[in-house]
Amino acid sequence: MSRACLWITIVAAALAACAPTVEAPRLEVQQLTEPVSFYPRQTGARWEYVRDGAALDGIRYVETVEGPAVIDGEVWIAFRLFGGGQDVRHYRQFRDDGVFLRRQTRPGATIDFDPPIRELPAESELRVGLTWRADTVADQHYPSAAPGLRRITVPVEYAYTVIDRRPVTVAGQSYDVFVIDRTVRQYDDDGGVSDELSRTMWFSPYVGTVRHENGWYLVDTNVLRAQP
């Protein structure tokens, strides 16, 4: 009986060794194959960010270029930012005189800017000391809100200033960045300032945003190997 039990045990072990195993999913990285523009906008571009001081394997905020979309008969490029509770899309146009933001969407809300916000200047104009400012109207739509609050229109004034250009190293990768400050003011019905917000971001040509205005830092991207 002991030899029989041993034989059964050996056979069972052999069968278990031959049984198919389910392999856990593995990381797959896809690099862009086409050259990235000065202001990256190629479909499939991807940037990953973490908060300052956060662990690299912690929560990541990911921005991707989804590609062209049509708004009111015009073609805009859709960017999606998600992770850590975020799920926001920005719709931009890349023109000879700069980068323009037309729309921002998030669950339950759509904000249209008329005229579009000029987020970045023409490539040839980007330099330390440059300032640009303008006025726009933020037309906010909240379909699920109470009837009187489903649409809110707010006058907005914005100003950008390129305050520095310097080399930085983030997550072991070196970049040449422009440091850009942005101040946005909202006005009430009486013309007074109802809200003011200032943010700083770092932009690196042919790479993208290295320091997000929300205080996140770039730790991974697929555009580095696709630079000209």
What's the confidence (pLDDT) of residue 193?
Answer: 78
Opening angle at CA 110, ends 108 and 116, nearest 5: 165
Residue entry with tokens 């926001």: 88
Q: Using CB atoms within 10 Å of the CB of residue 90, give its burial: 0 to 12 exposed, 13 to 18 middle, 19+ buried.
A: middle
For the chain, give every domain's residue range. 36-226
Distance (Å, rounded) from C-alpha 118 to C-alpha 106?
20
Q: What is the pTM of this model?
A: 0.83
What's the confidence (pLDDT) of residue 192?
Answer: 78
What's the confidence (pLDDT) of residue 24?
Answer: 64
**Dihedral sign of CA atoms 178, 218, 33, 167 in order:** positive
What's the confidence (pLDDT) of residue 14?
Answer: 41
Give pLDDT < 70 ranges for the chain: 1-33, 225-228
Whole-number CA gyration radius for the chain: 25
Domain 36-226 has CATH 2.40.360: yes
Contact (Cβ atoms closer than 8 angstroms) between residue 116 and residue 103: no
